[in-house]
């Protein structure tokens, strides 16, 4: 299992704590240290809708004034690859699957059930 995110993000912290508390081993990839490639993003998008993966609620989105650009899907992909802070967090890869965000009930179902 791999968890992608930012170490200082509270949502990522909840996901990491859930895994640790339940004895689930994982590798952590910090966007600040290791960038996520466009290729990896396209891989995730085979399983996750772009509007779930693309973070249009965060500070980076507002700071870059991306709303003004009316981005299409290709534009969103290019921006997520360029600015990983535009990826919703956390992104979890496990058993060939991809999950975005923190949802304790879903985690219990997926990882403990």
Tell me: pLDDT of 109 over 90.
Answer: yes
Looking at the chain, list the stretches that DSSP marks H as alpha helix, in order from N- to C-terminal side. Answer: 10-21, 38-44, 50-53, 59-63, 73-82, 104-107
Rg of the chain, C-alpha, whole Å = 14
Residues 108 and 24: beta-carbon distance below 8 Å: no
> What domains can you pick out in the chain, each with its CATH number?
2-112 (3.40.30.10)
pLDDT of the residue at 56: 96
Alpha carbons 27 and 33: distance in angstroms, whole number: 14
pLDDT at residue 113 is higher than 90: no
- Give residue-wise pLDDT tens across range 27-56: 999 999 999 999 999 999 999 999 999 999
**pLDDT band, residue 24 (cuts 50/70/90):** very high
| pLDDT of res. 38 | 98
């Amino acid at each position: 299992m791999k968890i992608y995110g930012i170490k200082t993000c509270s949502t990522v912290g909840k996901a990491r704590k859930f895994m640790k508390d339940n004895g689930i081993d994982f590798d952590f990839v910090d966007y600040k240290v290791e960038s996520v490639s466009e290729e990896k993003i396209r891989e995730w998008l085979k399983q996750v809708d772009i509007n779930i993966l693309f973070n249009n609620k965060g500070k980076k989105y507002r700071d870059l004034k991306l709303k003004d650009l009316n981005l299409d899907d290709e534009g969103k992909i290019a921006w997520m690859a360029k600015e990983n802070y535009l990826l919703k967090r956390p992104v979890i890869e496990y058993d060939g699957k991809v999950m975005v965000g923190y949802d304790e009930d879903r985690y219990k179902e997926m990882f403990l059930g």
